[in-house]
Amino acid sequence: MNTQDNIKTTRKRKHLNRMDKLFIENARNKKMPVATIADICDVHISTIYKELKRGKVTHLSSELIEYETYSAEKSMTLRKCKLAAKNMPSKQNDTVLIYIADKIINKHKSPDVIHSDMVKEGYKYTVTAKTIYNWIDDGIVSNVTNSNLWEKSKRKPKTKYKHIAKTSVPPDKRIDNRPAHIDDREEFGHWEMDLIVGGKGCSKDVLLTVIERKTRRQIVRKLPNKKQCSVSRAINKIEKEYGAEQFKKIFKTITVDNGTEFKHYNRLERSIFNKKEKRTTIYYAHPYSSWERGSNENGNRFIRRFIEKGSNIDHYTKLEIEQSIEWINNYPRKIIGYKTAEEYFNQELLAA
């Protein structure tokens, strides 16, 4: 008995099953006519056309040319999502969709955080983050597209470069000599630091961003320029806020890039209360290796939700920046068990 005999039945069916869809994918790859596929599956030809449209995906050929084809997996996933929505009472289903749309559009939350909120709030019909993503792709959530998902719309593929050694960085200050246990993010008190600059030629002010690797809590200061002295003054003010002893416990190490604004590590390491004592230890990541400061890069992307790339930082007030960082530090994060960075930081601060 051949494949066609296995697929064909003696009755007309309203829906294509899993075997039908796998057969359609294989048949289309072999350039089989749509009419023939419809005859074998024992359905109307329009059913096959609709199915091909439903499971349409775009692939890249070996010559790097885009082409469209049919994916049985996409069609089956889409079917499961629709059944999940259909199995809810219609009134409840509408409520869930409105709830999801509000969380995304007005509260700027990701599908992962929305799912977590549903569980915490005891929602009767909770849906997974994957289902929410699929509903958005299929247009089930009104007025929401992938453009509303900040993280998904901005994500770009990683590009790695070879490490290029810089002689200006002393060997003991390179990230290679940073204690290995810091990579595990198990110990509190290790930070990453960076600068966010505004549009070229339109902004003198910059933002100094410092983020704790374990809790992901951010500290942001608006600086008048990107000079080393401005960075040092900002760190001095933070030390004054916490006090000398507390600062040492909280800021054990700070990892920076190779920018000239961080060049004089002695100024950054030296305490303003006692110039003979160190308040922290500075380490330098490799050039063109932003993934070595992953928390910093992800934290900066959060800030870009409020201060777009290329915008004039001069126009943002201190209050506006503080409110933005307060929102970020109080946003539930999947990576830390849906805690907020603020509450996690305070827990670690008490323990320290």
pLDDT per position as a tens digit, 163-182? 444 446 788 899 999 999 99
DSSP string, 302-315: HHTTTS-TT--GGG
Alpha carbon distance 271, 71 (integer Å): 61
Instruction: Give the pairing type, strands 190-197 and 253-256.
Output: parallel
**What are the pLDDT digits (tens) for 85-130?**
555 544 446 788 888 888 888 888 889 999 888 888 887 778 888 8
**pLDDT value of position 93:** 66
Give the chain's residues under pLDDT 70: 1-14, 60-64, 80-93, 151-168
In single-letter form, the type of residue at position 277 comes to E
In single-letter form, the type of residue at position 153 comes to S
- Residue corresponding to tokens 């066609």: 4
- The two three-digit tokens of residue 82, written as one number: 């629709």
Distances (CA, A) of 8 to 5, 20, 29, 35, 102: 5, 9, 19, 14, 46
Q: Which helix (H) or strand (E) holds 223?
A: strand 218-223
**pLDDT value of position 200:** 79
Apex 205 CA angle, 202 and 210, nearest 5: 135
Burial tier of 286 (Cβ tally within 10 Å: 0-12, 13-18, 19+): buried
Alpha carbon distance 233, 182 (integer Å): 26
Cβ count near 332 (within 10 Å): 19
Determine if the pTM surpasses 0.75: no
- The two three-digit tokens of residue 141, written as one number: 């959530």
Residues 6+ apart with CB under 8 A from 338: 113, 116, 120, 332
At residue 282, φ and ψ (nearest 5 deg) are: -95, 135
12: left (phi over 0), alpha (psi -120 to 50) or beta: beta
**pLDDT value of position 316:** 92
**pLDDT value of position 36:** 92
